[in-house]
């Protein structure tokens, strides 16, 4: 089950919200939320649920052992718990990848086991690791009730597509569960925006991207350079609109029931440097690697050589987190090299000398190229796409079919492009400021606040009913 489905929007979510409204106590609300979350996560099959239950059990016990152990043993229990979590993640997500590479090098094993990747395993594994690490650091107390830790790990709002939520950020909300009409209204609006962003804009961009960034090598080699560029631009918008839409919906659903999740995206395509881009893109993941990998390795507090090692190690792991494939490792190291160049070669002073528009344009080009690396898990297809971008496949510059596809989608792509910017929020702020001085504008703004969630919901429903194409990008995570 995914958020952008009719079953979820019109049955599962309303039933969950009804339970949160009718049940009187925080404990009762939490029990209901846990049941709904387990049903949601187990919808794809009970084997996924068993793994989640086991992982939570390991971290529940591990955190209590850490908290209760004498000082000399606490680090040992931390290492054991984190290692067990990473081994489980490694077996389910990376064992097949490792064995395929060993088979390619040495011819063994003859048969590679087909291991099904559990949905959302990377998200909840990182959440549980952050919980255990925070208990070790003394930042939170170990949760003594297994079912409460299970609730934290399985919250259906964010367990399969993020954001990565830290225990210390939501523990108070889970225990207290206070909601207000203003927050419920804001949550409904945020969810409706995210659903429309996913169902209308992201899925529409996916249709354009998939017509040009083809999965057949011979067909991809024939796509003109402008077609590769147009497909890359569409995929660039798709991946942002899709991923940020799921974060919008998660944040909105959290507000509806008294849970406050941190922002995960801050209009990253408006960045003036690659460093700024990663402060704005998938904030919960980049902050996780910063706090639990980069800083413990020494961060920026050591010599330049060690800093470079720390940086590349983090970005190698970031690439691996996104999928068990060489293209993701290449994608991660690509950003690691760019960030190292910005830090050690260019420096902030040299970057600031360039006009903002040039810095912004340069970052967009670099980021768009990175999404080609991200898109193709087949390295042969990736090579074909990169060559095609520069016309090295004998594919020419453009074609009538590419021109027609662009003309047919130009207005839609323009709207999607605007949706990737803060223009909508800026106009809304201006309208609210004007409403403080003008009564008519104030009432128009108030009416729009009531009406627009329903309009967006209807628009999204029409898109979902009229088109069965609804890709789920995060399965590989």
Q: Maximum CA pair distance of the chain?
A: 76
Please state, in angstroms and as integers, the Cα–Cα distance from residue 352 to each residue in 89, 278, 423, following that order. Answer: 42, 18, 24
Asked whether the beta carbons of 183 and 380 are under 8 A apart, the reply is no
Q: How far apart are CA 254 and CA 158, in angstroms?
A: 9
Asked whether the beta carbons of 90 and 156 are under 8 A apart, the reply is no
Q: What is the distance between the terminal CA atoms of the chain, rounded to a whole angstrom?
A: 16
Q: How far apart are CA 257 and CA 245, in angstroms?
A: 19
Number of other CB atoms surrounding residue 350 within 10 Å: 10
Q: Among 84, 33, 95, 35, which Cα is nearest to 56's?
A: 84
E strands present in 195-313: none
Q: How far apart are CA 25 and CA 14, in angstroms?
A: 19
Catalytic residue, from 157, 260, 267, 322: name it. Answer: 322
Please list the alpha-helical segments (H only) found in 23-70.
26-42, 46-68
**Residues, the chain, total?**
477
Angular region, 346: left φ>0, alpha ψ -120 to 50, beta rest: alpha
Contacts of 124 (CB under 8 A, 6+ apart): 52, 55, 153, 154, 159
260 catalytic per annotation: no
Q: How far apart are CA 372 and CA 379, in angstroms?
A: 11
Q: How far apart are CA 162 and CA 120, in angstroms?
A: 8
Asked whether the beta carbons of 348 and 117 are under 8 A apart, the reply is no
Catalytic residues: 322
């Amino acid at each position: 089950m995914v958020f952008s489905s009719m079953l979820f929007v019109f049955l599962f979510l309303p039933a969950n919200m009804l339970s949160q409204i009718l049940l009187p106590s925080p404990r009762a609300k939490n029990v209901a939320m846990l049941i709904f979350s387990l049903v949601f996560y187990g919808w794809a099959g009970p084997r996924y649920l068993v793994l989640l239950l086991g992982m939570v059990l390991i971290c529940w016990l591990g955190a209590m052992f850490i908290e209760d152990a004498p000082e000399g043993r606490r680090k040992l229990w931390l290492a054991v718990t984190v290692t067990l979590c990473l081994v489980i993640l490694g077996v389910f997500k990376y064992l097949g990848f490792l064995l395929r590479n060993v088979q390619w090098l040495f011819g063994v094993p003859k048969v590679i086991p087909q291991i099904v990747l559990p949905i959302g395993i990377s998200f909840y594994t990182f959440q549980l690791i952050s919980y255990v690490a925070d208990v070790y650091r003394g930042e939170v107390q170990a949760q003594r009730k297994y079912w409460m830790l299970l609730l934290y790990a399985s919250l259906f709002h964010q367990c399969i597509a993020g954001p990565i939520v830290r225990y210390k950020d939501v523990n108070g909300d889970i225990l207290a569960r206070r909601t207000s009409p203003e927050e419920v209204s804001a949550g409904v609006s945020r969810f409706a925006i995210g659903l429309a962003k996913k169902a209308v804009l992201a899925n529409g961009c996916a249709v354009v991207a998939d017509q040009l960034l083809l999965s057949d090598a011979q067909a991809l080699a024939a796509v003109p350079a402008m077609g590769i560029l147009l497909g890359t631009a569409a995929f660039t918008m798709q991946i942002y609109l899709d991923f940020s839409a799921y974060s919008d919906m998660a944040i909105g659903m959290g507000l509806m029931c008294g849970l406050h999740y941190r922002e995960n995206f801050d209009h990253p395509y408006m960045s003036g440097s690659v460093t700024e881009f990663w402060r704005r893109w998938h904030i919960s993941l980049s902050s996780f690697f910063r706090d639990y990998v980069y800083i413990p390795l020494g961060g920026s507090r050591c010599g330049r050589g060690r800093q470079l090692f720390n940086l590349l190690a983090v970005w190698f792991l970031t690439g691996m987190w996104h999928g068990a494939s060489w293209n993701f490792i290449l994608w991660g190291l690509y950003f690691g090299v760019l960030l190292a160049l910005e830090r050690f070669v260019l420096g902030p002073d040299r970057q600031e000398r360039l006009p903002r528009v040039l810095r912004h344009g340069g970052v967009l080009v670099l980021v768009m190229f990175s999404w080609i690396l991200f898109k193709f898990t087949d390295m042969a297809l990736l090579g074909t796409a990169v060559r095609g971008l520069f016309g090295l496949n004998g594919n020419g510059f453009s074609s009538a079919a590419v021109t027609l596809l662009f003309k047919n989608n130009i207005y839609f792509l323009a709207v999607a492009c605007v949706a990737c910017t803060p223009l909508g929020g800026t106009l809304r702020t201006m309208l609210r400021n004007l409403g403080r001085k003008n009564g008519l504008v104030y009432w128009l703004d108030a009416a729009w606040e009531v009406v627009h969630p329903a309009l967006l919901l209807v628009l999204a429903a029409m898109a979902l009913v009229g088109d069965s194409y609804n890709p789920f990008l995060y399965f590989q995570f």
